[in-house]
Amino acid sequence: MKHILSLLLISLFILSGCNTKADQADATCSCVAEKETLELTMNIPLKIKPEFVAAYKTAFEKCQAGTLKEEACLDYALYQSYTDSTEFHLFERWTDKPGHRAHMQTDHFNVYKEETKGFYDKPKTQTIEVYVCPCVN
């Protein structure tokens, strides 16, 4: 009986040192943080005038090349609707909100804004911003 009890105690001691994956994530990542420090995902719906679709895509590709080099940028992509060639969705992922704000001040973004003036068929609809806890996802 003493032998079994000793084995149980030793096993419990060994197992108590093991961390589950969730325990390890909690130790290295906390999502109880200020919103500004969380990962930012954005979906920006755009409607482009038909005569500017090709020029818009070219301007975006130039901006995208510079944006993807930014340290805070995790993803920056443009998706065109299958059913309406003038409808786009700009998808952006940033390490945090300050990283996105810094992007808005870059030369490549300012060039993009200038090059695409007058391309929009109607005012942008609401941008969807989602703040994400990266250790959960």
Tens digits of per-residue pLDDT, 41-53? 999 999 999 999 9
**118 — alpha (psi -120 to 50), left (phi > 0) or beta?**
left
Region for residue 61 given its phi and psi (left: phi exceeds 0; alpha: psi -120 to 50; beta: otherwise): alpha
Pair 57, 103: CB distance under 8 Å: no
* pLDDT at 88 > cutoff 70: yes
| 117-130 mean pLDDT | 82
Q: Which residue segments constitute the domains of the chain, with CATH numbers given?
A: 35-132 (3.30.70.100)
The DSSP code for 50 is G
Q: Give CA–CA dist 100/86, Å, rounded.
A: 26
Question: How many Å apart are CA 54 and CA 65, to the nearest integer?
Answer: 17
Q: What pLDDT is attached to residue 79?
A: 97
Tell me what percent of the residues of the chain surpass a pLDDT of 70: 71
**In the chain, what is the straight-line distance between the N-terminal and C-terminal CA atoms, in Å?**
47
Listed residue (79, 105, 81, 83) closest to 92, CA to CA: 79
**For residues 129 and 41, is the Cβ–Cβ distance under 8 A?**
yes
Please give the mean pLDDT across all residues of the chain: 81
